[in-house]
Amino acid sequence: MGFTLKSRILTDYLSGRTDRVIHEMEAESMGEIEDSFTKAMQDAKARKFFNDFFDQLSPLIHHAEVDNFRVQ
């Protein structure tokens, strides 16, 4: 769908909030992530896939946190 960023899905079942899922992406900058997302959303199939996925996922999310880390 146009994303070329390296990403990983991490899960944490036993510490802090239980059943945590983390989606991690590697990029040179936040702009690179934004550009990839913008490019993907220009495709009608990608937009439909994302919207359908998010509609199914949203009722399962009870809490969300966002952290941006810079690795040097």
Given a contact cutoff of 8 angstroms between Cβ atoms, the answer to whether 24 and 6 are in contact is: no
CA 68 to each of CA 23, 41, 62, 72: distance values in angstroms, whole numbers, following the listed order: 12, 22, 20, 13
Predicted local distance difference test score (pLDDT) of residue 69:
79
Structural tokens at position 28: 């040179």
Mean pLDDT over 13-40 rounds to: 81
Given a contact cutoff of 8 angstroms between Cβ atoms, the answer to whether 42 and 36 are in contact is: no
Given a contact cutoff of 8 angstroms between Cβ atoms, the answer to whether 34 and 25 are in contact is: no
Residue 59: pLDDT over 80: yes
Integer Cα distance of 2 and 42 in angstroms? 9
Mean pLDDT over 38-56 rounds to: 90
Q: Is the pTM of this model over 0.85?
A: no
Predicted local distance difference test score (pLDDT) of residue 48:
93
